Amino acid sequence: MNVDETKDIKIYDEDGIIVLETHTLIPNIPADLLVNIEKTEDAKNLEKELDISWNLVQHHTYDAGFDLRACIPYQIVLGSGRSTIIATGLHFHMLSPYWEIQIRPRSGLAAKYNIMITNSPGTIDHGYREEVKIIIYNAGRDQFQINPGDRIAQACFRMIPVVEFNYVDKIEKTERGGFGSSGIK
């Protein structure tokens, strides 16, 4: 049985006076997808050594992405214009074949350090069961340090549509242009 939670919410103004007070219902919605996750021995050892969890968590309710950590034994210094492959210490098994995991960059790393995921978004298909690894590229001017346990990417779970293709002799053309056809203003 799913039990809904209730939560008291108070919003204060800059003087500390309550401007909104409410009691709201937070529905307990069953998961859309069940995912089995296996941690590598390296990930389990780093959890203990660094005293951090390797479990996927949403840092805010309803966040789309789950942070992935660098499962590396020592610091890696990534030079400007260089890329490397970083292990995450995790294997995934999505129990429904209609889903994928998209590996995406963390916005803070991109904005502050120009750190990118080279094949973004990277796709982890239902049938892939090996350890997930991240291809990181330093597009910045400075070296970038990756430490064991650093949060380096996000995993986003996305449903895959069932697609049927219809091959035709001719497709009707439109007036729409290609790259940059709509301008920048």
Domain boundaries along the sequence of the chain: 35-159
pLDDT band at 154 (very low <50, low <70, confident <90, very high): very high
Q: What is the DSSP letter of 69?
A: E
Q: b/e per residue, 142-156, with b = 16+ CB within 10 A? A: eebebebbbebbbbe
Query: Which of 4-8, 50-54, 145-149 shows the lowest per-residue confidence on average (mean pLDDT)?
Result: 4-8
CATH topology for 35-159 is: Deoxyuridine 5'-Triphosphate Nucleotidohydrolase; Chain A (2.70.40)
Q: Which residues pair with 159 in a beta bridge?
A: 99
Task: Give the separation between CA 45 and CA 26, rounded to whole angstroms.
Answer: 36
Q: Is a pLDDT exceeding 70 seen at residue 156?
A: yes
Q: What is the pLDDT of residue 88?
A: 97
pTM score over 0.85: no
CA atoms within 13 A on the CB side of 20: 5
pLDDT > 70 fraction of the chain, expressed in percent and rounded:
85
